[in-house]
Structure 1
């Protein structure tokens, strides 16, 4: 798909100030920071540097990136760095993809209590995987998983769910054996769904009793314990949405998948189609269509587009990528080494998948070749926030 010239930053720069005035008092600090970061990303407002060719007279101005995790332009390099580190953790086994989704009745509660409910979603989904995998009736092993939180659907509506990427096996209880799952099958989805539903609802009730849930607007009535219990009651009889996809083709496929998911934001610039004074159009995938072309173009008012983008801003300091089991940060290195020894498999150099290596760089490297003659380019000037580059002649020319 050709890269769009239109960017979310263009929409924010043109309409962000008016949106902030219209919604003054209704935007939280993280949302305001995200808007400001995206609007100033790769502009003189953040400073930058000037690179010059060592052979010809070509010069290039590069402005600094905001590096905000919600900025569509700043995720390419972040994903590359993260994936490079994760390459060392790949094992020569099947990998599985399990998705845990919040029921519709909880979505509004989650939006008003992001840190508490998103955190519970991570905890309940991880505990579900670890518990069922450890059960001798199923796998009987201590597994590991990497979980990634997404809060959106293709149309940018609020749709919280966790993607869990799980190696197909785990360590025995005494840690002396690697127990592999059956080929092409990880754990029974219905069993996962039942336990996840129970763990999540129990956790939600505990949060309510502890006074850690706040309710506003139409949800104010849920502050009453009896009303809250009645609201949750129907969920005990419905299946939670747990979905298991077929296993990946191999370690490279896992990296390719993660490169698309770990640092994704609510909408990427390449999905934007057009924007004017009143509307924004973007491509989206209609999953209700089972056959044929699912891709459609949605048109929203500019105000609604910005609103939908901002509902996915995470609380400050909230971690949207988490590791559990033998992939937990404190023990991962030792456990991976031990598992490789049990599998008699030494780590092999893994080629970064095209989805990662071809992603848009966060900042063009200072040593990139000159686009005119191909010679080396070096930084000849740096400038601070708000300063204008002088674009002076390179030192070697000035001294001539």
Structure 2
């Protein structure tokens, strides 16, 4: 279904409309988009719409960006158990932040967060991780005070990493015990409980990667920063360098290089390129954007209003009106001025 959508996107197969210039009669055909969430051409306007809907949730505080990454042996298990393991990744990362933040030794507050799942690295290999944007503070235990974090510091990443590791491995063991994990090919032996426990044992002693930093700019910049993650797909059209019947070349970033130019060009056989792209198709109905804490869907609106009162700083709507126009390939769906004379176009 995903491949059919990507192949037919912006073609006559999906229909479209003809627009004509009201001045010089120049005509332009615009074909419809597939609107599939995995299509590189359909995410520009979707990200913009999502960002506009989230504007009312912004708080006038510092925002932080936290990334939780799964080790390679876990990623291999996730490859065949996407819904179960990706769901556990969301749950364990959110529970980690909520638990450490509410601890009086750290922040001592009930926080909120928005999490976005990514499953790829720059070379389109399988690399599951979640990006979390967190307001820098939370509600006191009795709900009567806003407790802000120290400027430039949210929570200690080493503490987050160790709790995340424990919660995730405990959850993974429960999934295995209840028969919710399937194993194939060279991982088929992990169906045995003892073999599975032996496979996970080294992971209990290694450091898991948790990364945290404040995004640049104010709340609006933090939201714009997150919107670039929410509707990103495994590869965008602008990274493609060349393509023919046998190979696809694209730009990727080599993170192993600490300094200098990290950008390289990778050439893959066409079938391998397609295989890597399809690796990141999510299970049907799986939500890749989730909210937790005081930003959870059921309570978000009331909590945001209460928090604004507590920090005694009402949000000015005019501050958020000057956003950039929608970007990305979906701009073609808008009625642009006539390319010949600049006159207004009209659908005929």
TM-score bucket (shorter structure): over 0.9
Is structure 2 residue 260 aligned with structure 1 residue 292?
A: yes
Structure 2 contact 115–133 (Cα < 8 Å) conserved? yes
Aligned length: 346
Identify which of 326, 335, 346 aligns with 1:357. Answer: 326
For 1:1-400, what aligned pairs fall within 5 Å after superposition?
A: 33-348=1-316, 349=318, 350-351=320-321, 353-354=323-324, 357-361=326-330, 363-366=332-335, 368-380=336-348
Runs of 5+ in structure 2 lacking a partner?
none
Give the superposition deviation at 1:173: 1.0
Give the superposition deviation at 1:259: 2.6
| Structure with larger Rg | 1
CA distance in 2, matches of 1:247, 1:155: 24
Structure 2 contact 111–293 (Cα < 8 Å) conserved? yes
- Secondary structure at 2:115 match in 1: strand
Structure 1 contact 255–352 (Cα < 8 Å) conserved? no
Give the superposition deviation at 1:364: 2.1
Deviation >6 Å, runs of 4+: none
- Secondary structure at 1:322 match in 2: strand
Structure 1 contact 148–320 (Cα < 8 Å) conserved? yes
- What TM-score do you get using the length of structure 1 for normalisation? 0.84
CA distance in 2, matches of 1:352, 1:302: 42
Structure 1 contact 51–377 (Cα < 8 Å) conserved? yes
Runs of 5+ in structure 1 lacking a partner?
1-32, 381-400
Give the superposition deviation at 1:289: 0.5
CA distance in 1, matches of 2:123, 2:158: 28
CA distance in 2, matches of 1:375, 1:280: 39
Structure 2 contact 45–327 (Cα < 8 Å) conserved? no
CA distance in 1, matches of 2:182, 2:8: 33
Provide, for residues 261-315 of structure 1, a one-character-per-residue CA deviation record: whole Å limited to 9, x for no partner.
Answer: 1100000000000112211110000000011000000111111111110100000
CA distance in 2, matches of 1:360, 1:61: 15
Give the superposition deviation at 1:362: 5.3
Give the superposition deviation at 1:157: 0.3
CA distance in 2, matches of 1:246, 1:288: 23
Give the superposition deviation at 1:42: 0.6
Give the superposition deviation at 1:369: 2.7
